[in-house]
Amino acid sequence: MLYLDNSATTKVAPEALDAMLPYLQEEYGNPASKYYTLAENSKNAVKQARNQVAAIVGCDPDEVIFTSGATESNNMVLKGIADYYENQNQTIITTKTEHPSIIDTCEYLESKGFHIIYLDVDKFGRVNPNKVKEAIENYHPLLVSIIWGNNELGSLNDIEKIAHYCAINNVFFHTDATQVIGKIHVDISEHPGIRFLSLSSHKIHGPKGIGACIIRKENETLQTKITPLIHGGGQEFEYRSGTLAVHNIVGFGKAAELAHLNLSTTKEHLEQLEKSLTDILINQFKDKISFNNDQQFKIPGLLSLQFKGVNNELLLKKLSNHMALSTGSACSSGKPSHVLSAAGFTQNEIQQTVRISMSKYINVDDLDFFKSLK
């Protein structure tokens, strides 16, 4: 089976699995316990993983808050900011092409009286940073939340400019960076305006059920205040309570370390795969296909295309014994793509669209299978 749904989830790297196993068997201590060796070993393993995750995003280790994944991190930021600062401006700015965990959370906050502004996007799903600037200046919002790289079209938003506009206007800025980590250069120390960032382990060849919310400090010593999503034992610097899943955290840390070390080679390999597959598809299908994604300023290795006149669900079922593809986001399964709709695609075009997302474990020769399709 040729696995081409890596934007949904990825294979766990063997090195990450090997790192996890001791913490499922021998090293099973609770890092919140004290003094005895099993607890200290787990505590040190979590510390190492926190350093590894911090390195791949360019933040301080104590700004890494472990969560169950980006969906929780997104909820944590939006609900936590909205609750803690509810007596301030209740306006939140986002876009129409965000991940469902942002869109649905914004709709929930709307029901609680918050004013949500959903900015329009271009044909590739990108927001115009000048429109963000204009909205910030007009509404002086509490929070801006804009995805870094779109999970369906692969388009990259101009996070540098948006972060700058938020910084100079003293507005909280959050970005969901789930799809870009390990594929493009990310260093939030270069962008002081980014105050919050979400990411998931299972998108970078780590285990499922673990991710992080990056919460930048106000200054070197002062934490940014938000209301916790989960109350209890005060773990994770009192941002998120609950016994830490040490094995998952260790696997996440190892996956982050590998992704950081191999970033340039991974990016180059994904670009090579994308070019090879694009050439094969054009040669094989010619005018029977149409690409939805931009050819530049995008996540490497992610393609969105239409097979004209072919229903995408029927196509996926026909190919299911040979390859794994998707019609779009795994988090909105069964629903028409709100991303493609917001980008201006018709329902017919949406129903012809498939997403192909590749990984470092795919070889160029593996793509020759597409040459046999008609």
Predicted TM-score (pTM) of this structure: 0.96
Q: pLDDT at position 350, please?
A: 96
Residue 107 to residue 82: CA distance in whole angstroms: 13
Dump pLDDT digits (tens) for 122-154.
999 999 999 999 999 999 999 999 999 999 999
| Arithmetic mean of pLDDT, 288-311 | 96
Pull the structure tokens for residue 49: 């993983």
Q: CATH number of the domain at 14-257, please?
A: 3.40.640.10
Q: pLDDT at position 261, please?
A: 98
Please give the radius of gyration of the chain, using alpha carbons only, rounded to the nearest integer: 21
Instruction: Please say whether the dihedral angle defined by the alpha carbons of residues 99, 66, 157 and 254, taken in this order, is positive or negative.
Output: negative
| Arithmetic mean of pLDDT, 188-209 | 98
Query: 332 pLDDT exceeds 60?
Result: no
In terms of DSSP H, where are the helices of the chain? 14-20, 37-57, 70-84, 100-111, 129-139, 159-168, 246-261, 263-285, 312-319, 338-342, 347-350
Dump pLDDT digits (tens) for 243-281.
999 999 999 999 999 999 999 999 999 999 999 999 999
| Arithmetic mean of pLDDT, 339-368 | 96
Query: 230 pLDDT exceeds 60?
Result: yes
Do 104 and 114 touch, CB atoms closer than 8 A? no
Q: How does DSSP classify residue 25?
A: T
Q: pLDDT at position 18, please?
A: 98
Query: 11 pLDDT exceeds 60?
Result: yes
- Neighbour tally for 363: CB within 10 Å: 10
Q: Which amino acid is at 276?
A: S
CATH fold of 2-8+263-372 reads Aspartate Aminotransferase, domain 1 (3.90.1150)
Active-site residue 166, yes or no?
Answer: no
Query: 333 pLDDT exceeds 90?
Result: no
Do 121 and 143 touch, CB atoms closer than 8 A? no
Q: pLDDT at position 344, please?
A: 97
| Arithmetic mean of pLDDT, 170-197 | 98
Q: pLDDT at position 373, please?
A: 81
Which of 244, 234, 184 lies closest to 212, judged by CA? 244
Q: Give the position of tokens 């991940």.
A: 99
Catalytic pick from 59, 166, 213, 331? 331
| Arithmetic mean of pLDDT, 55-68 | 98
Q: pLDDT at position 329, please?
A: 61
Where exactly are the structural domains of the chain?
Answer: 2-8+263-372, 14-257
